[in-house]
Amino acid sequence: MLLVVLFLTHNIGHNIMKNPLHHTEREVQPQANSSETPLDENRLEQGYHDEDESEIGRTMKERRERIKSVCKKYQPYNNVRNTLTFRDYYFHNFDITVCLIAKRTAGASWQQLIYSFWVPVLHTNHMLPPDFHQRLGLEKPFDPKIMYDVHVYQKLRAILMPKISFAQFIRHVVATFEINKADAHWKDYTSECSPCYFDYQYVTKLEYMTQELDYVFKKFGIPSDPEFAYNTKRSTLTDFTSDYE
């Protein structure tokens, strides 16, 4: 289970809000000797440097160095448009941009899909046996209009859903990438937060979230219970990379 939070400063958040960015059809493609390569080495080498030698400080530095190393080695494609439009959250008062990467495990989304679509279809087509509620541990007949506890849906899935092999799952994942509709739970990090294009100063992980967020908040002078700024989504923007060059 992994949740990654990336913090970006250098007035980037302020510039985004002050100077509206504009989308074009062009994306940041991996082209050699171009200012629009996925990895701008000058940008990363001249970027933020934290001399903190605490254990967490060293960990943060190691993560940034690993990002640089991987970017230089593989030159991955970075979907900057997606990052700016859907993934970045801006702390207006602290000049910080934050990008979140979902944990790599099943979330509550499947439960919502079952509740919203699958169960109502089964119920409407009389595909649920009369005693089905008893098999789910319910006293009354199953009602698709009710949002039950998660364990009810877990039993329901086990009883009704077909078994899917790992090979079938992999084919499904590949297909979602081919039609550009990959689920956030298995998208690659470069598609989500463009770490080879933006020089993120801090990278925190779910395993040590409490200690690491406390460390980062103190660095930026953020209260321990900050409110995320409204996630500004811009759908009609022109040179959306100009403020970063």
Q: 67-76, 92-101, 158-167: which has the highest mean pLDDT? A: 67-76
More confident residue, 45 or 190: 190
Categorize the per-residue pLDDT at 50 as very low, low, confident or very high, splitting at 50, 70 and 90.
low
- The span from the CA of 31 to the CA of 219, in Å, is 36
Give the mean pLDDT of the chain.
69
- Average pLDDT on 36-40 reads 44
Categorize the per-residue pLDDT at 164 as very low, low, confident or very high, splitting at 50, 70 and 90.
low
Considering only CA atoms, which of 155, 150, 183, 156 is closest in space to residue 169? Answer: 183
Residue 148 token pair = 């039950």
pLDDT more than 90, % of the chain:
5
Categorize the per-residue pLDDT at 9 as very low, low, confident or very high, splitting at 50, 70 and 90.
low
Burial 202-239 (b: 16+ CB within 10 A, else e): bbbeeeeeeebbebbbebeebeeeeeebeebeeeeeee
Q: Where are the beta strands (DSSP E) in the chain?
A: 4-8, 88-91, 96-101, 202-205
pLDDT of 62 reads 92
pLDDT of 104 reads 57
With a cut of 50, say whether residue 200 has pLDDT above it: yes
Give the tens place of pLDDT for each residue, 215-226: 988 888 877 654
Categorize the per-residue pLDDT at 4 as very low, low, confident or very high, splitting at 50, 70 and 90.
low
* Residue 98 β-bridge partners: 7, 89
Question: Tokens 């100009």 map to which residue?
Answer: 242
pLDDT of 186 reads 78
pLDDT of 117 reads 56
With a cut of 90, say whether residue 125 has pLDDT above it: no
pLDDT of 233 reads 40
With a cut of 60, say whether residue 102 has pLDDT above it: yes
Give the tens place of pLDDT for each residue, 59-94: 999 999 999 999 999 888 888 887 887 766 776 667
Categorize the per-residue pLDDT at 173 as very low, low, confident or very high, splitting at 50, 70 and 90.
confident
- Average pLDDT on 10-36 reads 37
Pairing of strands 88-91, 202-205: unpaired
- The span from the CA of 220 to the CA of 216, in Å, is 6
3-state secondary structure 123-165: HHCCCCCCCHHHHCCCCCCCCCCCCCCHHHHHHHHHHHCCCCC
Flag the least confident range among 159-163, 193-197, 224-228.
224-228
C-alpha torsion sign, points 48, 54, 56, 61: positive
- The span from the CA of 143 to the CA of 17, in Å, is 46
